[in-house]
Structure 1
Amino acid sequence: MPLSGRKRIVRRETGTIPAALADLNPVLARVCAGRRVRSMEELEHGLERLLPFDALKGIGGAVRLLERALREGWSITVVGDFDADGATSTAVAVRALRSMGVERVDFLVPNRFEYGYGLTPEIVAVVAARRPDLIVTVDNGISSLDGVAAAKAAGMRVLVTDHHLPGEHLPEADAMVNPNQPGDRFASKALAGVGVIFYVMLALRAHLREQGWFEQQGVQLPNLAHLLDLVALGTVADVVPLEHNNRILVAQGLGRIRAGKGSPGIQALIEIANRKPERLVSSDFGFAIGPRLNAAGRMDDMSVGIRCLLSDDLHEARELAAELEGLNRARRETEQSMREEAMQELQRMHLESDGELPFGLCLYEPAWHEGVIGILASRIKERVHRPVIVFTDAGTGDIKGSARSVPGVHIRDALNAIAARTPAMLKRFGGHAMAAGLTLDADALEEFRRLFDSEVRRHLNADDLNGVVASDGPLEAEAIDLDLADTLRMAVPWGQGFPEPVFDDRFEVVSQRIVGERHMKLLLKKNGSEGHLFDAIAFNADLAMWETAPKMVDAAFRLDVNEYRGRRSVQFIIEHIEPAAEGTTTAEITENAEFTEG
């Protein structure tokens, strides 16, 4: 098998389009039906449709704890995570608590290179020097049994807010809110960390309003909608499934930004990413703004990112965003170097094993940058279409790994299964279905490789290792115009679990040229049509494929709008392209194909 694996275009089953979607653009109706939308209510994004906060287990205890902190003037330290979800969660907590009258609230984000993830006993020791009365964790804490115990022993109270999957035991916190904890009745288990803390703040504000707190203190009733741009960014950047409740949060945040009501930090990040606020979409959070924020936690210290999000001064926010941009450039350079080394290692493994890579792939290089191994694991996973864990040296004889998975393998559960069989092997692990982190003794790596590959083989077969490009089918050439591109782009927040529309068809290649060294600019004509030419671009193209200058190609693409010198035109963003096989049609290639959404 080639190192890049094999991809195939698979069309979604649309079935009969529900009558309730009849008033939508026909293409949008087809796309939504392919995502199991059955009513217009599922496409409505008003705040009144948010799930109620009172279904969250532990929300009452959290509110009572925070109310006491307010009334007794406690000092509060928010302990976050070092990614975009953690940064936005921290900013939401600090901003909301200040708006409700908390005078002494600050934050601390563990440096990933010194303290690792979560509320560890080591980070508790750092927090203790500040002498807070209450620690509030955001986007972490559900697995911090020792850290919570250490904080309690030091006389501090602890409120845990998290969304990660719990282990066998829960920390003995004073209060805990996590939609994934046992016994929780909240209907959406896909909240990001920033969504959880936002819900806690909604509940606190409602309770304080009932108690007359704001009138008593002379504090204006906070408008927590001001925080929704942060909630939207953290939700998309953490790649949680965009179920209806999350789509509401993201749509509301995007609406505020498009209306010019985004916070200065978000505005500055949009500017530095060269995006237009009025046309911002959810993918801009994931591919432009989120990575710049994440770069702080990956390369240095996330506090600069949080300070950017907390700034109320646009000039200061721009300076901090420029610092984040520099860190992101350094991250890209480091990632490129690591990727080249990883591909060389893959080539060696590929040759030594007669062309068969493990189903569960582990790569290790002691010098790889700890903050970038997660991105590298994701890039390699996309290349070889199987679960990947990338390890680097963590010092003191340990190695740290970052895992990324594919549909069919719940990576956190896979690690849990290994830990159940060999309890002493994994010193620490946690995560989601598609991403996780772990720490183990360097001497255990080879045994872990074997166990991981074996566990993955329990869930996948050889056919599952082929990449799948999910398509919404072909488009009539006459239907492809700016109105359709704008409609699809702006209709709903697209993202994980509710993917942006992708179409496929067979095209004649009218012209091709390389731009920017690695990208292929194309002019395509739909097979069998007359007079319809479409601009297309394939980013990071396989240039070897184009050496033979194929005349006909099968392509999967997204519709985009290219803006150049004031002119707007439709452009295809190529998701997958390959020379057309003789004697087949696209419909034959994908006929009766089955697809399970990851």
Structure 2
Amino acid sequence: MIHKIVRRPKVDDSHLPNTLSPLLKQIYASRGSSAEDCELTLARLLRPDTMKGLAEGAAIIADAIKAQRSILIMGDFDADGATSTSVCMLALTMMGATKVDYLIPNRFDYGYGLSPEIVAVAHSKGAELLITVDNGISSIEGVAAAKALGMQVVITDHHLPGKTVPDADAIVNPNQVDCNFASKSIAGVGVAFYLMSALRAELSKRNWYQEQGLAVPNLGQLLDIVALGTVADVVALDCNNRILVEAGLQRVRAGRCRAGITALLEVAKRNPARIVASDFGFAVGPRLNAAGRLDEMALGVETLLCDDMMSARRMAAELDGLNAERRDLEADMQQEALKSLASVELNEAELPWGIALFQEDWHQGVIGILASRIKDRYHRPVIAFADAGEGEIKGSARSIKGLHMRDLLELINSRHPGMILKFGGHAMAAGLSLKAKDFPAFEQAYDQSVRELLKPELLTGELVTDGELIPNEMKLEMAWELRNAGPWGQEFPEPLFDGYFKVIQQRIVGEKHLKLVLETECGQTMLDAIAFNVDLTTWPDATIKHARVVYKLDVNEFRGNQTLQLMVDQIEAM
């Protein structure tokens, strides 16, 4: 789909420091940055005492450590859950906890969250205190089961709560009612990090470290893991999240990160000294996620916990293999999904506003990525379902701007009680379960609800750019300046530009990528460019001599040489 190109309007940038280039000042100002936002120092992190439940949670955990009670971290099976689990495991060990372990439900056996079934497993392991990370806010039955078995429960989560929350001993979630913590976009790993920071302070207040002969731990050592989880979970990079991510990236660039992260960067062929946030999002995160999608996320956690480089490389290689398997599965599923939509694709009027897809042999671990790919292709909210056994199907939903997915599911649930067995999530992504026999009825209710809530103009995808660059700005030095001006990510997008070019050369590389040589319309500058996963029915085409290109400036490194390259997001023949 060719997206409509919308250029950001020029805004006042006089409040930003003149040490920035004029282009970067305008880019920052257009994203709402203040002068203070340009200083991504840890001293500017939001204060933990504004996060509701943090003090109570820290006190409960401190009591458990002092009493040598058995603590079990209950994680989730994605990258945010794995990093959250790792942060808590490492921090608690550094703080002298002697009985601490973790448990991540296998998504195929137990599903998402703190279910009564996984609580029974935790109880069999002798757990006395459960700490959920990146889950728990919707686990009403699971928390009740844990309390009935005599366990305490501290919930840490960042997902939106429902009308009723669990009866836990403490809930730490910035999105719960009456929480004044300003960063509502913090990832689960960020919430876990804040809790561990509050716990460190609580134990200091109790003279714990002095009594135990321990040094007060430096939790800054964990910021590389926090940065990875924050970027991989695709949360909005508000100022607080940018501070956390930048601090973690600095550790990696300085060679002071975990062995597991170094090993994952190696298998992804990324240079740690030059890492940027997108490397976490597109290279490391997917390999970590592959464990939870196809196997046991414990492999991902163990990779992050590992402090031996040889072992870390072995586990990273295993994760790399799982990720390759995941890519193959996803490609096959995507082809099947596109075939099922082919009959209506030529007549856009017949295309559902809300696309729901189900095939019995689809893999549960890959439906989220499938939904995302189909959403990107058609620019419509998508839910992809896979068989979950015993007559149930599980769905993974991805939304587009202007439609809050969890609110949509809440609406369907209120209109059709019992149709959705369970659901949870946030604005852009959610998960749900249905009876397989109810899929046709759900498909209809879903499309109808999307049509009610979504404005028609939002079905046309947009690419918002920072305008056109003049030839003098298309330099390697500018690419480096923009690269180092991040971290860029969700809601703080990497600079994107558009312009008209002459197409000098074009050829396919790697079976589906378009390698280009472009020339500016004025003929002043020749540029290398690459567009990934192009439509092979359109490209290459020797008759196309002019194109409008939407692109990012990138630094291409090959055999020690650095050159400017345009990373093409969209190319439209003119």
| Alignment correspondent of 1:379 | 373
TM-score (norm 2): 0.98
Q: In the TM superposition, what are the counterparts of 1:313-462 in structure 2 within 5 Å?
A: 313-350=308-345, 356-462=350-456
| Alignment correspondent of 1:55 | 50
Contact 1:365 1:393 in 2 (8 A): yes
Distance 1:364 1:63 in 2: 43
| Alignment correspondent of 1:107 | 102
Distance 1:443 1:555 in 2: 46
Contact 1:560 1:571 in 2 (8 A): yes
Q: How far does residue 579 in structure 1 lie from its aligned partner after superposition?
A: 1.1
Contact 1:477 1:529 in 2 (8 A): no
1:448-496 CA distance string (max 9 Å, x none): 1111112111232333211111100011111211111011011120000
Gaps of 5+ in 2: none
Which AA in structure 1 matches 2:11? Answer: G
1:383-427 CA distance string (max 9 Å, x none): 000100001111111111000000000101110111111121111
1:202 aligns with 2:202: no
Q: In the TM superposition, what are the counterparts of 1:28-177 in structure 2 within 5 Å?
A: 28-37=24-33, 39-177=34-172
User: 1:372 aligns to what SS in structure 2?
Assistant: helix
1:149-184 CA distance string (max 9 Å, x none): 111111111111000000111101111100001111
Match of 2:526 among 504, 523, 533: 533
User: 1:457 aligns to what SS in structure 2?
Assistant: helix
Contact 1:85 1:193 in 2 (8 A): yes
1:429-462 CA distance string (max 9 Å, x none): 0011100000011121112111111211123233
Gaps of 5+ in 1: 581-598
Q: In the TM superposition, what are the counterparts of 1:460-539 in structure 2 within 5 Å?
A: 460-530=454-524, 532-539=525-532
User: 2:154 aligns to what SS in structure 1?
Assistant: strand
Aligned alpha-carbon RMSD (Å): 1.1
| Alignment correspondent of 1:544 | 537
Q: How far does residue 355 in structure 1 lie from its aligned partner after superposition?
A: 5.0
Contact 1:135 1:156 in 2 (8 A): yes
Distance 2:152 2:540 in 1: 65
Moved more, 391-400 or 204-213: 204-213
Structure 1 residues 323 and 354: CA distance shift in structure 2, 3 A = closer
Which AA in structure 2 matches 1:117? Answer: Y
Which AA in structure 1 matches 2:24? Answer: L
Give the count of matched residue pairs. Answer: 573
Contact 1:57 1:179 in 2 (8 A): yes
Q: How far does residue 315 in structure 1 lie from its aligned partner after superposition?
A: 0.9
Distance 1:448 1:429 in 2: 13
Contact 2:119 2:142 in 1 (8 A): yes
| Alignment correspondent of 2:13 | 17
| Alignment correspondent of 1:191 | 186
User: 1:64 aligns to what SS in structure 2?
Assistant: helix
User: 1:308 aligns to what SS in structure 2?
Assistant: helix
Structure 1 residues 318 and 354: CA distance shift in structure 2, 3 A = closer
Contact 2:506 2:540 in 1 (8 A): no
| Alignment correspondent of 1:592 | none
Distance 1:350 1:501 in 2: 32
1:308 aligns with 2:292: no
Distance 1:29 1:192 in 2: 28
Match of 1:224 among 219, 230, 235: 219
Moved more, 242-251 or 353-362: 353-362
Contact 2:15 2:35 in 1 (8 A): no
User: 1:546 aligns to what SS in structure 2?
Assistant: coil
Contact 1:43 1:492 in 2 (8 A): no
User: 2:369 aligns to what SS in structure 1?
Assistant: helix
1:300-342 CA distance string (max 9 Å, x none): 1100000000011111111111110110011011111101111
| Alignment correspondent of 1:293 | 288
Q: How far does residue 524 in structure 1 lie from its aligned partner after superposition?
A: 0.5
| Alignment correspondent of 1:587 | none
Distance 1:355 1:455 in 2: 17
Distance 2:132 2:116 in 1: 14
Distance 1:270 1:14 in 2: 38
TM-score (norm 1): 0.94
Structure 1 residues 342 and 168: CA distance shift in structure 2, 3 A = same
1:178-203 CA distance string (max 9 Å, x none): 00011111011011000001000111
Distance 1:354 1:434 in 2: 23
User: 1:495 aligns to what SS in structure 2?
Assistant: coil
| Alignment correspondent of 1:579 | 573
| Alignment correspondent of 1:275 | 270
Distance 1:189 1:537 in 2: 36
Which AA in structure 2 matches 1:330? Answer: E
Distance 2:45 2:335 in 1: 45
Q: How far does residue 372 in structure 1 lie from its aligned partner after superposition?
A: 0.1
Q: How far does residue 207 in structure 1 lie from its aligned partner after superposition?
A: 1.8
Structure number with higher relative contact order (C-alpha < 8 Å, ≥ 6 residues apart): 1
Q: How far does residue 21 in structure 1 lie from its aligned partner after superposition?
A: 3.6
User: 1:252 aligns to what SS in structure 2?
Assistant: helix
Contact 1:59 1:177 in 2 (8 A): yes
Q: How far does residue 349 in structure 1 lie from its aligned partner after superposition?
A: 4.1
Distance 2:7 2:307 in 1: 47
Q: How far does residue 233 in structure 1 lie from its aligned partner after superposition?
A: 0.3
